């Protein structure tokens, strides 16, 4: 019994193998994956998402933070962005990307985001394509 119990603890579950596969494929697609549990965490979402994904920011949007509230991504900061001429079209583009995005942070060098990894690699590919289309600012 002890041997069977210790072996079953050491073996990863089906869901953890799936998430591991998604993370390996994400790295091939150019994503950097970081833990949200340790170090400096700029995300406001306190859910059970353990890792953040990061890509190089090739858009003109250099400072923005969006958080999912119920079924919509809302602007967290900077507030002045909300009053820009292109904000409505940016908001529409973000909503069209994916409902699995929970939070997005645009900085000068990178785009960091939290998403529901269990939706799989195809969902991540849609997110990456959608984020690269944002080039309004």
Q: How far apart are CA 58 and CA 129, in angstroms?
A: 12
Residues in CB range of 71: below 8 A, 6 or more apart? 99
Q: What is the mean pLDDT of residues 98-108?
A: 92
* pLDDT in the model for residue 136: 53
Tens of pLDDT, residue by residue over 7-23, are 556 666 777 888 889 99
- Kindly report the average pLDDT of the chain as a whole number: 85
Tokens, residue 106: 């645009």
Q: What is the pLDDT of residue 7?
A: 53
Q: What is the pLDDT of residue 125?
A: 95
Residue ranges per structural domain of the chain: 48-137
Answer whether residue 137 shows pLDDT above 60. no
pLDDT at 83 (0 to 100): 86
Q: What is the pLDDT of residues 17-67, one digit of tens each?
A: 888 899 999 999 999 998 877 666 677 765 667 889 999 999 888 899 999
pLDDT number for residue 54: 94
Q: Which phi and psi angles does 33 have, rounded to 5°?
A: -115, 125
């Amino acid at each position: 019994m002890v041997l069977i119990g210790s072996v079953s603890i050491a073996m990863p579950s089906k869901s953890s193998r799936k998430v591991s596969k998604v993370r390996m494929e994400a790295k091939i697609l150019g994503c950097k994956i970081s833990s949200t549990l340790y170090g400096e965490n700029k995300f406001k979402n306190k859910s059970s998402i353990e890792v953040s994904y990061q890509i190089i920011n090739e858009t003109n949007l250099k400072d923005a933070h969006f958080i999912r509230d119920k079924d919509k991504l809302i602007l967290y900061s900077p507030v002045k962005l909300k009053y820009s001429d292109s904000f409505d079209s940016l908001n529409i583009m973000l909503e069209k990307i994916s409902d699995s995005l929970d939070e997005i942070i645009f900085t000068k060098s990178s785009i960091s985001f939290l998403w529901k990894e269990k939706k799989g690699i195809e969902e991540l590919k849609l997110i990456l394509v959608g984020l690269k289309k944002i080039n309004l600012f």
